Chain A
């Protein structure tokens, strides 16, 4: 039940929820309010004093993070008075801050820099020495700590206390000699550790993985969805292309989505960008040898014709919706049965009650919604009577265990995959295709949330778009763009029939109920 009231901010009236946190309300309304210690996921702390605002009727400026919306409140964040207050608080934040900008990874996304440009722009009047602390401390989990740069907002410590409940970090010492530390000899060690790098507003906590690699203003941020498990955490793919070089993804960052992953992602998902950069597997192969693309296509088309009665298709439950729809189209064209054994994608050890799902199949929901056969034994039964096995990136066939491998030896195996398959000798044709960061599309997470992926990089000749591949291989009998897929195929699938593909919100769309 919302209870909306009207408040005035900088002479403009806005609607706000009665009793809501004033700082969050200001931020939600796009009103720039510098702050360090407040974080939407971690709550207020009231220690940085940066978010001070002027409230009519109150003698002194108040911190917005400890103020609650009341009807008819009149706030100023821009008066000369409050700007002077903010400037003086910022000056004090910078008093003991090392001038590391030229070597600090945070440059370009640093709150101290941002706020200095917003409310600072003064000349330093510091003539006395700064407090010094330890720099580049390896905390473990790929996180580097620089105690000097820290503004003691305590976000990181609160993260390990209230979010991961692993309690590694804390402020020790007192006064201006206080600093962030771990228990002596202990490391930062939990599956979400690297999130502290994002929540740290300055360069005190940085990623060892990203250290000194790239200046952030040279990168482009593309919104996408992590494909590591069925949670579908929202991410930014940060990438760029240097002159004469291939495009590189430098890192993933979490993208806020209160309906899915909140503000964070797990470390494994965060570091999975490296797989996307791998250029090890590309092009087309037959058995162990590289073959020409045209040859591969023609070979494939011959096989499809000759084995048309005896073909089965296996597809990965991590394919995008459009890719799945395209494979479905293909299966109709060649009259093959489709299987997607799901058991192997279960990972109990990985799942937790924070974000990580024990289901590694990022698009399982769609597999189930489309009633694709998921039972392993049914797949095996059908396998026996098949001669041609077409695998679209399914783990089971890329890396089969002994028993299955033996069965496959007698078959004609074709792989469409992002990574190389184990049994190259048994692979009649292998097509490399571009992984998810190269294409756009949609997936549905385990809670039935439809989400959009955007292409950060572009498919290449050696790593083409899977839709394009299927289109060519099928003799142009399937759609080859997302638009066409949605217009032709998806519309006919009940679960997607009412979706306007071009209007999926940035935060996704709930599709009535989980379908696991």
Chain B
């Protein structure tokens, strides 16, 4: 079983953050983000580690990690595409764009496609993110451009 610890840089970030809150518990979300940035996902070992660092029971970390949509508890493909499915995007052709994206990535296992709820980019609908970076006002050619850089 692997042991999880923060990298020296992440440990430093953690310690800096510790000073900014009245209680280490507040570092729950920041710690989960640091762990996910390290491994690409959050393992049970990482959760136990975080629990000790912020002084809570491990089950609390697990409860939080499963509550928030953006945390992955398992490894995912290296390129994560999130397509917004909520109303404004749906009204602006999200269905077609999603279909196109799926068609373009169907032969590759480098991609994970998720349908997500409103990303706050309603004025730039339809939209997607690629590893967290927003791409708005999508057209099929724009999608080609974005994906072109990867395949």
Query: What residues make up the interface of A, taking CB atoms closer than 8 Å to B?
Result: 161, 167-174, 181-186
Given contacts A173-B67, A174-B67, A185-B44, contact A167 B62 (CB under 8 A): no
Interface bracket on B: 10 to 19
Query: A172 contacts B44, CB within 8 Å?
Result: no
> How far is B86's CA from A102's CA once the two chains are assembled, in angstroms?
42
**Chain B residues whose C-beta falls within 8 Å of the C-beta of A174 in the assembled complex:** 66-67
Closest CB of chain B to A177's CB: distance in Å?
A: 9
Closest CB of chain A to B86's CB: distance in Å?
A: 16
**Chain B residues whose C-beta falls within 8 Å of the C-beta of A161 in the assembled complex:** 57
Query: A183 contacts B67, CB within 8 Å?
Result: no
Q: Does B83 contact A (CB under 8 A)?
A: no
Q: Does B75 contact A (CB under 8 A)?
A: no
> How far is B58's CA from A167's CA once the two chains are assembled, in angstroms?
8
Given contacts A173-B66, A174-B67, contact A168 B59 (CB under 8 A): yes
Query: A183 contacts B66, CB within 8 Å?
Result: no
Q: Does B55 contact A (CB under 8 A)?
A: no
Query: A167 contacts B44, CB within 8 Å?
Result: no
Closest CB of chain B to A145's CB: distance in Å?
A: 14
Closest CB of chain A to B106's CB: distance in Å?
A: 28
Q: Does B81 contact A (CB under 8 A)?
A: no
> How far is B62's CA from A182's CA once the two chains are assembled, in angstroms?
9
**Chain A residues whose C-beta falls within 8 Å of the C-beta of B57 in the assembled complex:** 161, 167
Per-residue CB proximity of B94-108 to A under 8 Å, as 1/0? Answer: 000000000000000
Q: Does B63 contact A (CB under 8 A)?
A: yes
Query: B67 contacts A170, CB within 8 Å?
Result: no
Q: Which residue on B lies nearest to A179, using beta carbons?
A: B66
Q: Does B47 contact A (CB under 8 A)?
A: yes
**Chain B residues whose C-beta falls within 8 Å of the C-beta of A183 in the assembled complex:** 44, 47-48, 58-59, 62
**Chain B residues whose C-beta falls within 8 Å of the C-beta of A181 in the assembled complex:** 62
10 closest A-B pairs (Cβ-Cβ)? Answer: A167-B57, A172-B66, A170-B59, A170-B63, A183-B58, A184-B44, A173-B66, A183-B59, A174-B67, A167-B59
**Chain A residues whose C-beta falls within 8 Å of the C-beta of B44 in the assembled complex:** 183-185
Query: A172 contacts B60, CB within 8 Å?
Result: no
> How far is B44's CA from A185's CA once the two chains are assembled, in angstroms?
9
| CB under 8 Å from chain A, chain B span 4-59 | 44, 47-48, 57-59
Please, could you name 25 A-B residue pairs with CB atoms under 8 Å apart, sorted by A?
A: A161-B57, A167-B57, A167-B58, A167-B59, A168-B59, A169-B59, A170-B59, A170-B62, A170-B63, A171-B63, A172-B67, A173-B66, A173-B67, A174-B66, A174-B67, A181-B62, A182-B59, A183-B44, A183-B47, A183-B48, A183-B58, A183-B62, A184-B62, A185-B44, A186-B59
Closest CB of chain B to A188's CB: distance in Å?
A: 11
> How far is B63's CA from A169's CA once the two chains are assembled, in angstroms?
10
> How far is B96's CA from A315's CA once the two chains are assembled, in angstroms?
86
17 A-B pairs besides A167-B60, A170-B59, A170-B63 with CB distance below 8 A are: A161-B57, A167-B57, A167-B59, A168-B59, A170-B60, A171-B63, A172-B62, A172-B63, A172-B66, A173-B66, A182-B59, A183-B44, A183-B47, A183-B58, A183-B62, A184-B62, A186-B58
Closest CB of chain A to B40's CB: distance in Å?
A: 18
> How far is B99's CA from A130's CA once the two chains are assembled, in angstroms?
29
> How far is B47's CA from A407's CA once the two chains are assembled, in angstroms?
59
**Chain B residues whose C-beta falls within 8 Å of the C-beta of A186 in the assembled complex:** 58-59
Q: Which residue on A lies nearest to B48, using beta carbons?
A: A183
**Chain A residues whose C-beta falls within 8 Å of the C-beta of B66 in the assembled complex:** 172-174
Q: Which residue on A lies nearest to B60, using beta carbons?
A: A170
> How far is B62's CA from A186's CA once the two chains are assembled, in angstroms?
12
**Chain B residues whose C-beta falls within 8 Å of the C-beta of A172 in the assembled complex:** 62-63, 66-67
Q: Which residue on B lies nearest to A165, using beta carbons?
A: B57
**Chain B residues whose C-beta falls within 8 Å of the C-beta of A168 in the assembled complex:** 59
> How far is B60's CA from A167's CA once the two chains are assembled, in angstroms?
8
> How far is B48's CA from A168's CA once the two chains are assembled, in angstroms?
13
**Chain B residues whose C-beta falls within 8 Å of the C-beta of A182 in the assembled complex:** 59
> How far is B39's CA from A197's CA once the two chains are assembled, in angstroms?
38
> How far is B60's CA from A168's CA once the two chains are assembled, in angstroms?
9
**Chain B residues whose C-beta falls within 8 Å of the C-beta of A171 in the assembled complex:** 63
**Chain A residues whose C-beta falls within 8 Å of the C-beta of B59 in the assembled complex:** 167-170, 182-183, 186
> How far is B62's CA from A169's CA once the two chains are assembled, in angstroms?
10
> How far is B59's CA from A173's CA once the two chains are assembled, in angstroms?
12
> How far is B44's CA from A186's CA once the two chains are assembled, in angstroms?
11
> How far is B57's CA from A171's CA once the two chains are assembled, in angstroms?
13
| CB under 8 Å from chain A, chain B span 65-109 | 66-67
> How far is B58's CA from A169's CA once the two chains are assembled, in angstroms?
10
**Chain B residues whose C-beta falls within 8 Å of the C-beta of A185 in the assembled complex:** 44
Closest CB of chain A to B64's CB: distance in Å?
A: 9
Q: Which residue on B lies nearest to A168, using beta carbons?
A: B59
**Chain A residues whose C-beta falls within 8 Å of the C-beta of B67 in the assembled complex:** 172-174
> How far is B1's CA from A184's CA once the two chains are assembled, in angstroms?
14
Among B47, B48, B59, the most chain A Cβ lie within 10 Å of the Cβ of B59
Closest CB of chain B to A163's CB: distance in Å?
A: 14
Closest CB of chain A to B119's CB: distance in Å?
A: 18
Q: Which residue on B lies nearest to A171, using beta carbons?
A: B63
Closest CB of chain B to A161's CB: distance in Å?
A: 8
Q: Which residue on A lies nearest to B57, using beta carbons?
A: A167
